[in-house]
Each structure stands twice: as C-alpha cells, then as structure tokens.
Amino acid sequence: MSVLSIIACEMLEDELVYVLSKDQNAVRLILVENRQCFRFVRKLKSGNCQARIFPPERISFFIKQMNRPASMKIPNFLLKFPFFGKIHENMKEKNRETITVVVNILKLGLHADCDLLKSEIYRNMKEMVEFSDGILIFYGNCGRPLRELEAEFKDFNCPLYFLEDEKGNIVDDCISIALGGNDNYAEVMQSGNGTGMIYLTPMWASSWKEMRMEPGDTSDFNVSFLKRHYRKVVKISNEISMGSEFDKNVLNYARTFDMSIIEMKGSMEIAMKSYMNARNGICKKDPIQKSS
C-alpha cells in the first residue's frame, strides 16, 4: 500500500479538506497529532472524511502494521480452504487499491520567519520520509524558494510534489492558489490600477485576528497602515466559501479597516490537480520498501 504524506499550511486546511473529500478512490487518512489537527478533524467530518490521529513517533509503526502482508493476518493452514483463500485475495486486492494519506498541519505563526518556516518543513520531511512514498508540500512559495528543497532532499529517494500552476511553477502563496495561479493573480492585481487591495479566503477572513497577535512584522494587520494604503477587500468565492460565516467575517474585516468589498470568483483547480498529481505519482511506481 502506497503512502502519500502531506505537509500543509494551516491557512490551506479548507483546500485540503476539499480535495480529500473529493477523492473517489480508497484512502486511509492519518493525521499527525498537534494543536492544529483538531479543527482540521472537525472540518474533515463535515466533509464526510474519517481520520485517525497518532503522535508523530507512532505513525511509522502503525503504517507498518497496516502494510503487513495479508498472508500474515490469516494463518497459512487456513488458506487452503476456499473461503479463507478468497478473503486473502480480497485483502490483497484492497491493499493494492488503497493508499494511505498522512497529513501534517503546520501552524500559521511560522510565516513570521521564512527561515524558520523552511527549516520546519524540512525537519518534518526528514521525519516523514521513513514511511512515505512521496511528499506533497501543500504550501505556496510565500517568499521562499521551495524548489531548493528538492536539491536538499535528493538523497532520500522520496519524490516531492508541490502546488503548481499550469506552467509547472510553484504558486506564489495561498491567494494565488485560490485565484487559479500566478498569472491570474498578477492580472487581478493589475486590474486594481494601483488601488491597494487585500485578498480574503475563508481561512484568512476567519484567522486575521489570530495572525495579528503573532510576533514579528505586524504591518499586514496594523490599522493605520492598512487604512492608509488599502481601499478594497477582495472576497474570493469558490467551492469552499459558501455560507454566512465567510460573509460575516469579510464584512467585519472591511468595517475594521474602512474598505469596500468586491467579490471575485476563485478556483480549486490548483489544489485538486496538485493533489491528484501526487496521488497518481506514488501509485504509478512500486512502493519504496521501508526499513524495519
């Protein structure tokens, strides 16, 4: 059974819930236990996805137990009977068709320090490579060149996948993901004709007060700075932005900073295609045999 690990930004948890809930194939979902995972679990349940939560140090053992050959789970002397033989074959077939997805959500506050964020992503990659056949980095660039991770990780024999636009470029940030790619993002910014615009996804709209409390550069959430330089809030609407809570959060933000609201249609295409590319990539190759 193949294992796809996903290291994800907490800001992109809605997109990740969406792609996991839309996966029509068999998935065993495991979450790395941390403070960020519990809200994610609630959102998964609302999308009819079930997950098991394990401390990071227990995940490798659990996956090895799941990947034990079916013949080890049914005593050999029973396999000569047709009934148990059929169960055995069904178990093997199910294992071939099912993948395990391990999700590790990293906290929002890491954005305050790009070097710290990169080192945390890399540290978690090294911990997860033991049981992974591929790792999807569910992040935009956010000011740091993620492609460098491929060179630094090349000796681990575990392919990396990224959130990429149709040109194969890693998207700039979570807003680029929501708008459908770097080119679309650039077009939207140019359409403002120099007017300062703030872009809100559901997670940004619900989390900006929390982000405001994080240490580091707070200019993005400074009232006087925003009122001086920005005039509009761009409300990005897509498949995950339905509901009154998003409307209320955007309105609250706009009133706080004296901005007008414009609505723009977004897309889940990049998140969906990038996830399926990683999923299909690990399924096309033979699973890497992990050491015991």
Q: Which letter does DSSP use for residue 258 in this model?
A: T
Separation CA 290–CA 126 (nearest Å):
14
- Quote the pLDDT of residue 287: 43
Per-residue pLDDT tens listing for the chain (292 residues): 799 999 999 999 999 999 999 987 878 999 999 988 999 999 999 888 989 999 999 999 999 887 665 444 556 655 555 654 554 445 454 455 579 999 999 988 787 778 888 889 999 999 999 999 999 999 998 776 677 888 888 888 899 999 999 899 999 999 999 999 999 999 998 887 778 899 999 999 988 877 666 555 444 556 677 777 788 999 998 888 777 889 999 999 999 889 999 999 999 999 999 999 999 999 875 444 443 3
The CATH 3.40.50 domain(s) of the chain lie at: 3-68+95-172+269-284
- Quote the pLDDT of residue 70: 46
Phi, psi (deg, nearest 5) at residue 80 = -75, -15
Phi, psi (deg, nearest 5) at residue 136 = -100, 120
- Quote the pLDDT of residue 235: 95
Q: Is 16 helix (H, G, I), strand (E, B) or coil?
A: helix
Domain 3-68+95-172+269-284 has CATH 3.40.50: yes
CB 31, CB 37: distance < 8 Å:
yes
